[in-house]
Chains A and B, each alone.
Chain A
Amino acid sequence: QKEVEQDPGPLSVPEGAIVSLNCTYSNSAFQYFMWYRQYSRKGPELLMYTYSSGNKEDGRFTAQVDKSSKYISLFIRDSQPSDSATYLCASPGTSYDKVIFGPGTSLSVIP
């Protein structure tokens, strides 16, 4: 079992839709969770990080962690074509010298 799992998609939504991207993790000791965004033929870039449980909001993006179910979510409001990318959830796990990445979910926002 991979330590961080996510549905690879692809996910296709119309412009303006609310998007929900989801991940699960296996180790209840994980504390930090990140979302990276990767545009086509580019390297990933950090979008947001959260600590432990709860929500964190940044503009149109909200990251949510539910530790009881070991579930991580990223919500995108008023989605734009520029949001079309692959979104990878990640965690430094328990060692903090490495980062564990999920396989990524490919998102297309159609104008």
Chain B
Amino acid sequence: NAGVTQTPKFQVLKTGQSMTLQCAQDMNHNSMYWYRQDPGMGLRLIYYSASEGTTDKGEVPNGYNVSRLNKREFSLRLESAAPSQTSVYFCASSGGDRVYNEQFFGPGTRLTVL
């Protein structure tokens, strides 16, 4: 099992460009999440999807959109990238079978916006 995979691993954008970060999991998990991680700020939730067909805003949703394409895939789109969106982005999934909501993380995407 690959677990949670993310593409691309690295990306450099110019201000105003758009891109989509892809995430897929092969653990048959219901819930999927997108986080960004910045120095001193920890992991901040951007959007999450508790099940196929549903999405909800997290702590920092502005400037992002998401699509839960099917049970396996959850994509994050930046429509008009800004330097403030320079960060490391992590996708995670959760099976919902643990009351403490264990999260399984992908390897991350390092995004730089110039």
Contact = CB atoms under 8 A, between A and B. Distances in A.
Interface of A: 8, 32, 34, 36, 41-46, 49, 51, 88, 92, 96-99, 101-104
B74 interface: no
A42 B90 CA distance: 9
B113 interface: no
B108 A43 contact: yes
B108 A98 contact: no
Nearest to A45: B105
Interface of B: 4, 31, 33, 40-43, 45, 48, 50, 58, 90, 92, 99-103, 105-108
Nearest to B94: A99
A8 B40 CA distance: 7
A92 B43 CA distance: 14
B42 A88 contact: yes
A46 B106 CA distance: 13
B43 A88 contact: yes
> Quick one: which of B103, B107, B108 has the most chain A CB within 10 A?
B103
Contacts, number: 52
Among B31, B58, B90, B100: residue with most chain A CB under 10 A: B100
B101 A96 contact: yes
Given A97-B31, A98-B48, A46 B102 contact: yes
A51 B58 CA distance: 25
A42 B31 contact: no
B108 A99 contact: no
Contacts of B48: 97-98
Contacts of B90: 43-44
A43 B41 contact: no
Contacts of B100: 32, 34, 49, 51, 92
Given A44-B105, A45-B105, A46-B102, 19 more contacts: A32-B99, A32-B100, A34-B100, A42-B108, A43-B4, A43-B107, A44-B43, A44-B103, A92-B100, A96-B101, A97-B31, A97-B48, A97-B50, A97-B101, A98-B101, A99-B101, A101-B43, A103-B41, A104-B42
